[in-house]
Structure 1
Amino acid sequence: MRRALDGLGTHRGRYALAVEDLTSGRSAAYGSPTSSTSSTSSTSSTETFTSASIVKVDILAALLLRAQDRGAQLSPAQRQLASDMIRVSDNDAAQKLWGEIAGRQGLDAANARLGLSSAHAGQKVPWGLTRTTASDQIALLKAVFTEDSPLNAASRSYLRTLMGTVSEEQNWGVGAAGAPGATPVLKNGWLPDGTTHLWSVNSVGIVEREGHRLLVVVLTDGQPTQETGITLVERVATAAVEALVRTP
């Protein structure tokens, strides 16, 4: 996989990748240098990136845990907000649900149960500017897509359904690594830096390829445009998945 990713050539900014094959049990992680001209300061699956809208999966997981603890279901209003937040990445909906989980403190408490590190949300910043790592995002995906999870079967199914019905204009990202024509099951995030005007572009989800089910995370920053970031995410995800499933 490293040879495949090194072979992609130069790129702007940096990225971190993590892949876990639920079929074979194999996993891999990779971090690019901080710029296309740097040969040092490589990133890793434990270096932090701005979450942007991929944190919305985490917010919903926290909300579902709170409902489970009460022995309750989400209200119709909460379900509508959750649908808007995941399927069309509505920020107003995310802000309302962020308040319902008690913000940063609620997310930290949920993440302790979901297997994420405290670095994920331990800052006094808006939800979109929380920091995350590729390894934490794999942990979150495992909580959503495997039975080894504090989320019950109904909660996992609900999250998977929303991630599998994202709006057409957001049908990009790690889904490019899946089998042709497969329905994407993912959540993307994108955010420009107000100072540098460079972009963070992230994508997380599950793909099926050649009989394998794989959790895939690609986090990027320092991208000159959103489109450049999307292209990098899709190239990286595809190269990594192909290398992992085809390695004897």
Structure 2
Amino acid sequence: MALLLTACQAPSRGDSEPAIITTATTSTVEQRGAADAQAPPASVISCEFPDVPAARQLAEQMVANESLIASTAASTVAFAVYDHTTGVICQRNAATVFEAASVIKVSTVAARLWQSENGGPELSEEERWLAELAITVSDNDAQQYLWESLGGAPAIAEFFAAAGMTSTTPRFRDEDWGLTEVTAGDQLRLVRLLVEGSLLSRANSDYLLDLMRSVDPEQAWGVSSGAPEGAEVMLKNGWLDDPLPCDDTAESCDVTWTNNSIGYIRSPTASYSMAVFSSGNPSLEDGQALVNEVAAEIAATIQGR
């Protein structure tokens, strides 16, 4: 597997545009100007980065990680990651659509907070209690109440538009919130907005991140894998069983599993946001193991292990 490098020429105003690096099946390494750059195929790992040595080194290591390439080879696996230290953003299949499952609960709480900052009522004590349940123990009844009190799909669609989450589409039946169509790229964007405090107020962003920091340990798999020892882990996971088509006369039908994880990892030695999505997994445990594997490979690369 060779690397295809695309480095962008600096525009005349003096600003620097990000360089792009992707995995490719060519046998050469090629470097071109911005005018000749082409968007990388969706099926490869690609990275954008400030064209400085530390960022370029991380991007090259990410796209050359054979284990990461292998573990994300299927179209049913996607990831997007942003390293806050170097400004490197890498992805594979980040525009592929998945069912959100319970990661939508972060969007729901964020949307309600955004609503309160834009003319809506402040969250009541009951809503804050329900938000805690929805995020920390993934309580579906709490999520349902918050979804409906927010205003359902039309209201959360306004939030997605404000957040620039252009590839996210909610289902319009209130009980179908877990089937919201999402992408790893949009979910990474949401986490970054919270970390950077650039959509919600700093106080509301920190409130939601604090809830994500307090997730039940049994539900803390996923993007936490490979995190530095003692790191702060802020995450939310989702899992959903999808029945396979079968004959109506069958006593039971096989299912596959969707397993998703989003979050932010912070320590003295690392700071990164990540989204990992997968579908078609033969079991809940297999899906969790796959997401853990992908997250751990990404974390190891960021940490130079």
- The residue type paired with residue 123 of structure 1 is R
How big is the alpha-carbon RMSD for the aligned residues of Structure 1 and Structure 2? Answer: 2.1
Q: How does 1:82-231 map to 2 (within 5 A)?
A: 82-117=131-166, 119-125=167-173, 126-147=176-197, 149-195=198-244, 196-208=254-266, 211-231=269-289
Partner SS, residue 23 of structure 1: coil
Q: Deviation digits for residues 173-192 of structure 1, max 9, x if unmatched?
A: 11113112434210000000
Gaps of 5+ in 2: 1-61, 245-253
| 1:9 shift after superposition | 5.6
Q: 1:232 to 1:209 in 2, by over 3 A?
A: farther
- The residue type paired with residue 91 of structure 2 is A
> Following the alignment from structure 2 to structure 1, what is the Cα–Cα distance between the partners of residues 72 and 131?
38
> Following the alignment from structure 2 to structure 1, what is the Cα–Cα distance between the partners of residues 72 and 118?
48
TM-score by length of 1: 0.87
Aligned length: 232
Larger RCO: 1 or 2 (CA < 8 Å, sep 6+): 1
> Following the alignment from structure 1 to structure 2, what is the Cα–Cα distance between the partners of residues 180 and 11?
29
- The residue type paired with residue 22 of structure 1 is H
TM-score by length of 2: 0.71
- 2:242/2:255 contact within 8 Å kept: yes
- The residue type paired with residue 149 of structure 2 is E
Structure with more of its chain in helix, by fraction: 1
| 1:2 shift after superposition | 3.3
Q: Match for residue 35 of structure 1?
A: none
Q: Deviation digits for residues 176-213 of structure 1, max 9, x if unmatched?
A: 13112434210000000033510000000011367221
Q: 1:105 to 1:236 in 2, by over 3 A?
A: same
- 2:281/2:287 contact within 8 Å kept: yes
> Following the alignment from structure 1 to structure 2, what is the Cα–Cα distance between the partners of residues 9 and 161?
31
Q: Does 1:243 align with 2:301?
A: yes
> Following the alignment from structure 1 to structure 2, what is the Cα–Cα distance between the partners of residues 7 and 61?
33
User: Which has the higher Rg, Structure 1 or Structure 2?
Assistant: 2
Q: Deviation digits for residues 144-165 of structure 1, max 9, x if unmatched?
A: 1103x22001110100100000
% identical aligned pairs: 34
